[in-house]
Structure 1
Amino acid sequence: MRVLVAGASGVVGRPLVGALRARGHRVSALVRDASRAPEADEVVVADALDRSSVLTAVSAARPEVVVHQLSALSLLGDDPAEAFARTARLRTEGTRHLVEAVRACGARRLVAQSIAFAAAPAGPDVLDEHAPLYLDAPDPGWAATVRAVAVLEELVQGVQGVVLRYGALYGPGTVYARAGGTGQRVLAGRLPLPSGGAGVTSFLHVEDAVGAAVRAVESEAFGVFHVTDDEPAAAVQWLPHYAKALGAPAPRVVPEALAPRLLGWFTAHQLTAARGADNSRASVTLGWRPRRPSWREGLGEE
């Protein structure tokens, strides 16, 4: 099968190109900078925010399936505001360009990455794909992020595509790697645990994100799927475990009311109020299972 991977130089995109080729697919890697392209059958260069360059690149590749792994989260360490702002544009403008390209070239399938932690913090601790998104989050930055996710998902479903809502990614190149932003905060003792630590996170190893994307490329299923491990965990469980795995000091406990000021709104939300994601639909309909069913298998150990 001819597959084009947009965002092929990213944390998931790079190993995904290799995994698809290993299964016999002919893979075109779409990147903005050719010098950062992974080994692929073909490299096409385009800025995903430039409509004409996307249409030209996708047309040249003639894919049967397009995989959207675009983000700008590699900028998080240097410029978090720009990383989130550009990622929001890639989820809205970039997705529109890819959808138009899919229609123009006659590709039969679009597979796109989303996130499994954008749900509003209401209801049970673990939510399925029908739970409402947190479009009215009190933090303007997070509200903008969630609105961009909603646009992406609507656009992809408009062409009967597949939306893979990844859990919090851990593994090489992620923020939870030792050298990543979260890893460095924990090592420095700068990520305290709000009292109670009731916020729930669903994790996902990069290898399992790749496996789910391969399965989506080869499947006939469509729709929205939570792609997470099998063990949603409250912060009071995973954060001390993570610190211990890193060889970091145990996180100090702080009053929950101080968390937004000490940690920033989003991290405080993750640790105190966020909901986990139920992955059963991906198992039943997509036929995918994580090889690492628990975050205990590798979080902080890369």
Structure 2
Amino acid sequence: MTARVLLAGATGVIGRALVPLLRARGHQVTALVREPSRAAGVELDDIVVADALDAGAVRAAVAAARPEVVVHQLSTLRGPAAEGLARTARLRTEGTAHLIAAAEAAGAERIVAQSIAFATAPRGGPVLTEDAPLHLDAPDPGWALTTRAVAELERRVLGTARLTGVVLRYGTLYGPGTRYHRDGAIGAAVARGRLPLPEPAAGVTSFLHVEDAARATVSAVEADTGGVFNVVDDDPAEAAVWLPEYARLLGAPPPRTVPAQLAERMLGWLTGYQLTAMRGAANDRVRQALNWKPATPSWRTRLAAD
């Protein structure tokens, strides 16, 4: 069944892949944007304008769109890392609250929200389910802020009384527009031999192509169930596996190794954590509940191809 969909974040990496898929399925897509000029080139049915952090503006914009489904893909990581994390945390807390209140007032039936699969605490096995605790006590202030904002987003989305809430915990995104594209920050660093490999490099990354993220979101829009779902590929990999292979695929020299205790100082806390301690995510639940599976089951086939 087709629906009127309000998409907040239509101009982002996932949003741009998502819009044509939704419209191809017959859904009417209205974008909620802060700057209309950023929607140039995106084939939408309509646009409403509001800053997600302005509750009144969001309420008016959502009322005008009259959505049946609200899709929350808001994040902003442009500019300095600390500023991007702080604003994204506000979008996940204040912005989510504004969207939910506006959606309820407008009579929407469903909300689908973006979260992250790698916010889990680094405890337990190498690959964790949705039931694993989040890393709320992370030692890095920026990551602690992020994981607490994720927890607040998920609590609000799953706790709304009038809407069916779906949380999609995407894996580490790659593909056009991401940091892992060959022209992105990570791709460029690997290509130039500037991303060293800690020793040992036991952190596990669960990757996800942006097209698969968009396909999972369509499934969530059209489903009749709610809950929290890891959306990742089938090939979680330790850094000792994926980083040298990524370098090989890019035609770059093998990454040089450094002692693990130096990784944080050289790479920053979050990258060092990803390479040494992060856990991967299992996708069994989303396969069963939303009848989704990745069209790209392994990062190995497309990580360097786009």
The TM-score, its normalising length taken from structure 2, stands at 0.96
2:81 match: 80
Query: Shift of residue 184 of structure 1?
Result: 1.6
> How many Å separate the matches in 2 of 1:300 and 1:49?
36
Query: Shift of residue 36 of structure 1?
Result: 1.3
Q: Which of 19, 24, 37 pairs up with 1:22?
A: 24
CA displacement, residues 76-102 of structure 1 (integer Å, 9 cap, x when unaligned): xx3212111111110001000001011
Question: Is the 1:11–1:173 contact (alpha carbons within 8 Å) kept by the matching residues of 2?
Answer: yes
1:131 match: 132
Percent identity between the aligned chains? Answer: 65
> How many Å separate the matches in 1 of 2:83 and 2:24?
35
The list of structure 1 runs, each at least 4 consecutive aligned residues, that deviate by more than 4 angstroms after superposition, is none
1:97 match: 98
> How many Å separate the matches in 2 of 1:119 and 1:184?
27
Following superposition of structure 1 onto structure 2, how do residues 181-200 of structure 1 map, counting pairs within 5 Å? 181-200=185-204
Equivalent pairs, count: 299
SS in 2 for 1:281: helix
SS in 1 for 2:229: strand
Query: Shift of residue 133 of structure 1?
Result: 0.3
Q: Which AA in structure 1 matches 2:31?
A: A
Following superposition of structure 1 onto structure 2, how do residues 249-268 of structure 1 map, counting pairs within 5 Å? 249-268=253-272
SS in 2 for 1:19: helix
1:141 match: 142
2:282 match: 278
RMSD: 0.8
Are 2:178 and 1:174 equivalent residues in the alignment?
yes
Q: Which of 297, 301, 304 pairs up with 1:297?
A: 301
Query: Shift of residue 30 of structure 1?
Result: 1.0
Q: Which AA in structure 2 matches 1:135?
A: L
Following superposition of structure 1 onto structure 2, how do residues 113-132 of structure 1 map, counting pairs within 5 Å? 113-132=114-133
Q: Which AA in structure 1 matches 2:286?
A: A
Q: Which of 205, 208, 214 pairs up with 1:201?
A: 205
> How many Å separate the matches in 2 of 1:54 and 1:300?
39
> How many Å separate the matches in 2 of 1:121 and 1:195?
18
SS in 2 for 1:117: helix
Q: Which AA in structure 1 matches 2:209?
A: H
> How many Å separate the matches in 2 of 1:169 and 1:137?
22
Q: Which AA in structure 2 matches 1:49?
A: L
Query: Shift of residue 188 of structure 1?
Result: 2.2
2:113 match: 112
1:10 match: 12
> How many Å separate the matches in 2 of 1:87 and 1:267?
18
CA displacement, residues 23-64 of structure 1 (integer Å, 9 cap, x when unaligned): 101110111111111220001111111111111111000000
Q: Which AA in structure 1 matches 2:22?
A: L
Q: Which of 213, 217, 221 pairs up with 2:225?
A: 221
> How many Å separate the matches in 1 of 2:48 and 2:65?
7
> How many Å separate the matches in 2 of 1:104 and 1:249?
56
> How many Å separate the matches in 2 of 1:126 and 1:234?
10
Query: Shift of residue 223 of structure 1?
Result: 0.4
> How many Å separate the matches in 2 of 1:269 and 1:154?
25
Q: Which AA in structure 2 matches 1:31?
A: V
Q: Which AA in structure 1 matches 2:151?
A: A
Q: Which AA in structure 2 matches 1:97?
A: H
The TM-score, its normalising length taken from structure 1, stands at 0.98
Query: Shift of residue 196 of structure 1?
Result: 2.1
Residue range with higher mean Cα deviation, 240-249 or 59-68: 240-249
Are 2:155 and 1:151 equivalent residues in the alignment?
no
Question: Is the 1:17–1:29 contact (alpha carbons within 8 Å) kept by the matching residues of 2?
Answer: no
> How many Å separate the matches in 2 of 1:259 and 1:10?
30
Query: Shift of residue 135 of structure 1?
Result: 0.2
Q: Which of 56, 61, 68 pairs up with 1:52?
A: 56
1:61 match: 65
CA displacement, residues 81-137 of structure 1 (integer Å, 9 cap, x when unaligned): 211111111000100000101110110000000000001000000000000000000
> How many Å separate the matches in 1 of 2:191 and 2:47?
38
Are 2:211 and 1:236 equivalent residues in the alignment?
no
> How many Å separate the matches in 2 of 1:211 and 1:47?
26
SS in 2 for 1:161: strand
> How many Å separate the matches in 1 of 2:138 and 2:82?
17
SS in 1 for 2:299: coil
